[in-house]
Amino acid sequence: MKNVLLVDAVAWSNAYAAEHPLKNVARWFVRWFGDFNNFTLARVSAEDDPAAILRHQTHGVIVSGSPRDAWSDDPVNARLCELIAAWRDRGVPVLGVCYGHQILGRALGGRVGRHPAGLALGNTTVELTPAGRECALFAGLPDRFEVLSSHADAVLQMPPGGGLLARSGHTENEAFHWNHQLFGVQFHPETDPEVLRFLWQPRREMWRSRVSFDLDATLAALRPTPAGAAILHNFVQRIVP
């Protein structure tokens, strides 16, 4: 049995109803593994005590996205950097998603900050690098494929020893690896149009004047991206021991 730990880093505002069925980060991930009979996903909060998190017997870790800024002095960021260092030293595979990708880059010595091109939102075409085409995380995928994006920050400088796996027209570092053990993807393989629209509903008014594109039209036009589920499957099947 493969035991994977999900570190839920989402910080919910009061704008989201507590009982809403889409307000379930673990469900966003686990629904793609319905046909797996040798897999468990245990959720912990990024705000939990790091020592308690490290006591979990896990074969792999996923760090979720979050509205937090991975470059800020938020104490959650510091705790996650410590956890990532511990998992690195223990040889535990880690997959960081969006914010998780950024905090992974920071923990490994890269530079994270506001993306100079601003917000990336919606369907994004990413292209694998030669290293990405050889990487188990993207096994079975074409050189170019669509994913769903929602980020205003980015890994602006690769951590020492990191290898670029994928890029897009908006973001140079869409995916990277460190020693083929720690992986970050800037996009959201776990989400779908329904979840992304749910997340953006309370934010639309604030962001409409900040972007140069039609935010509402972009959200209305979201398309499913099957590559996301394939990437999550690859992480569990091919990378987690």
The residues spanned by each domain of the chain are 2-239
| pLDDT score, position 225 | 98
Rg, C-alpha atoms of the chain? 17
Instruction: State pLDDT tens for residues 115-130.
Output: 999 999 999 999 999 9
Q: Compute the CA torsion angle 132, 137, 143, 148 (nearest 10 deg).
A: -110
User: Quick one: pLDDT at residue 209?
Assistant: 95
CB 144 within 8 A of CB 116: no
Compute the average pLDDT of residues 150-157: 98
pLDDT tier at 172 (50, 70, 90 boundaries)? very high
pLDDT of residue 204 exceeding 90: yes
**pLDDT at residue 23 greater than cutoff 90:** yes
In this structure, the number of other CB atoms found within 10 A of the CB of residue 106 comes to: 21
Q: Out of 101, 115, 190, 233, pick the active-site residue.
A: 190
Average pLDDT over residues 149-168: 98
Does residue 82 carry a catalytic annotation? no
Catalytic residue among 98, 115, 177, 233: 98
* Superfamily of segment(s) 2-239: Class I glutamine amidotransferase (GATase) domain (3.40.50.880)
C-alpha 117/C-alpha 109 separation (Å) is 23
pLDDT digits (tens, 9 = 90+) for 80-108: 999 999 999 999 999 999 999 999 999 99
The answer to whether 188 is a known catalytic residue is yes
pLDDT at residue 179 tops 90:
yes
How do the residues of the chain divide into helix, strand and coil, expressed in percent and rounded to 5?
35, 25, 40
Give the active site residue among 19, 188, 194, 205. Answer: 188
pLDDT at 135: 98
pTM above 0.75, yes or no: yes
pLDDT tier at 35 (50, 70, 90 boundaries)?
A: confident
Q: Which residue has the higher pLDDT, 35 or 139?
A: 139
Res. 37 pLDDT band, cuts 50 70 90: confident
pLDDT beyond 90 at 34: no
